[in-house]
Amino acid sequence: MRLQFIFTGLMLASFQVFIAQETTNDSIKSVKETTITTVTTVKDTIIKVVPETATTTLDKEALRKEEKMLKAKMNREKKALKEAKKLEQEQKDFEKTQNRILSSEKSVSKLKTKISNEEKDLTRNKEKLETKKSKGKLSSTDIEKENIRISKQQIKINNLKADLVKEEDKLSKLRS
């Protein structure tokens, strides 16, 4: 029973809404008497309502001139937008190269410190080997083991130097 009352109330409300929106012929006639011309710019749309009675050659010519001016303005805006995008992209590229240069400089400095530390370790190990040899505390197998360890350190230093040369080449390419 309640459901029937609800549906009846909804039907009455919807009929009142449809009946209240009556269209008049006057507004339709006024729309038929005018034409709408649109000119689209980059960001917004300009709409002009022009009556059909303004069809004289002077009016048409004025409309054409105005249309040409709007097109020229639109082209200028497009060019300005393209140039702004181009400048923004160039700035981003410049920042990227600067960041790459900074990271490359950091890696070069890290490699240089690493090489210097490894060379210090190598000289210490050589000195230790020499002092132990002079005291006679090492056997021939221990001497060979120390020589192998020293040669491995030298190989490591040579590899680090090769990496340093590569990084310096990268850095010089980035700077140029």
pLDDT digits (tens, 9 = 90+) for 77-128: 999 999 999 999 999 999 999 999 999 999 999 999 999 999 999 999 999 9
Identity at 133, one-letter amino acid code: K
Name the strand (E) or helix (H) holding 173. helix 140-175
| pTM as predicted | 0.53
pLDDT at 54 over 60: no
pLDDT tens digits, 23-44: 555 555 544 455 555 555 544 5
Q: Sign of torsion, CA 135 137 139 140?
A: negative
Identify the sign of the CA torsion 81, 87, 91, 93. Answer: positive
| Cα(60)–Cα(65) distance, integer angstroms | 9
Q: Report the DSSP beta bridge partners of residue 47.
A: 38
Confidence of residue 5 (pLDDT cuts 50, 70, 90): confident
Determine the pLDDT at residue 8: 84
Q: Is the pLDDT score of 137 beyond 50? A: yes
For residue 1, the model assigns a pLDDT of 76
Task: Give the distance from CA 107 to its chain's centroid.
Answer: 25
